[in-house]
């Protein structure tokens, strides 16, 4: 059986090899599901499960996402052409998914939750995560510590079901992106490349819009909508 790391790498390489839009988006879903269910971030010895992320990708041909951070300048592009590196930038932290040459991409990490911690509150927001992770791996100026690292690794088998659930990934629209950026590809603004753990939806930014989407796609019931939000939203009155 293929291990989690090899499976994730295989999905990234499959993404690079296809030029069909439908298959690209299928790979996005596979990548997000594997990242959120089978891998975790080890930050200086503490392990965190990813419960929300957004995918940005430009293959230079079929899929030209104008919101990719690498579109900003040559420096950012050079980083997002790398495969599976951490890229700390003005908007947060990306796990890069480029191919080393002409294709570039990044998975923006938006929310994480610590594994084996009784506090089930996630750390949310890409800028908050960037600050938290950088400070977590910062030691003394002259300190040579074996705790100064951030790596991606398989979730240990004995704690694989953090919060005792397998994460069901929901695809929805990305947030905090500027519609004015769009010129040649206006539909990228509303594409559903933000992936959220359903089990943590009640703690997500913009949750009412997501619940609205799920309700009208008939993926949740009226009672589930009210439970997730903690109140009856106005769209249920229509």
DSSP state of 121: P
Give the tens place of pLDDT for each residue, 98-152: 999 999 999 999 999 888 766 667 888 999 999 888 887 766 666 665 666 788 9
Give the tens place of pLDDT for each residue, 32-62: 999 999 999 988 788 889 999 999 999 999 9
Distance CA 91, CA 80 (A): 14
Query: Which band of pLDDT confidence, cut at 50, 70 and 90, is reported for residue 83?
Result: very high
Percentage of residues in the chain having pLDDT higher than 70: 86
Annotate 159-172 with DSSP letters as a single string. GTTGGGSPPPEEEE
Both tokens assigned to 45: 């010895």
Distance CA 54, CA 36 (A): 12
Name the maximum alpha-carbon separation found in the chain: 63
pLDDT at 199: 81
Query: Which band of pLDDT confidence, cut at 50, 70 and 90, is reported for residue 180?
Result: low
pLDDT at 119: 62
pLDDT at 233: 84
Cα 93 vs. chain centroid, distance in angstroms? 10
pTM of the model: 0.88
Both tokens assigned to 206: 């913009």
Give the tens place of pLDDT for each residue, 59-70: 999 999 988 887
Percentage of residues in the chain having pLDDT higher than 90: 37
pLDDT at 27: 97
Distance CA 231, CA 212 (A): 13
């Amino acid at each position: 059986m293929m291990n989690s790391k090899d499976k994730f790498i295989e999905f990234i390489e499959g993404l690079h090899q296809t030029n069909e839009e439908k298959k690209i988006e299928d790979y996005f879903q596979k990548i997000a599901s594997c990242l959120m269910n089978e891998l975790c971030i080890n930050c200086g010895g503490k392990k965190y499960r990813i419960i929300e992320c957004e995918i940005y990708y430009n293959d230079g041909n079929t899929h030209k996402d104008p919101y990719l951070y690498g579109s900003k300048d040559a420096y950012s592009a050079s980083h997002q052409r790398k495969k599976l590196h951490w890229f700390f930038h003005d908007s947060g932290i990306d796990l890069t998914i480029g191919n080393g040459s002409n294709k570039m991409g990044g998975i923006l990490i938006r929310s994480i939750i610590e594994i084996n911690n009784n506090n089930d509150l996630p750390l949310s927001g890409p800028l908050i995560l960037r600050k938290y992770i950088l400070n977590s791996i910062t030691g003394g100026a002259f300190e040579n510590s074996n705790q100064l690292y951030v790596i991606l690794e398989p979730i240990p088998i004995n704690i694989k079901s953090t919060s005792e659930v397998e994460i069901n990934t929901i695809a929805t629209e990305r947030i905090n992106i500027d519609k004015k950026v769009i010129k040649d590809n206006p539909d990228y603004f509303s594409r559903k490349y933000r992936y959220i753990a359903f089990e943590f939806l009640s703690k997500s930014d913009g949750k009412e819009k997501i619940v609205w989407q799920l309700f009208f796609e008939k993926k949740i019931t009226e009672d589930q909508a009210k439970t997730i939000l903690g109140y009856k939203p106005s769209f249920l009155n229509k």
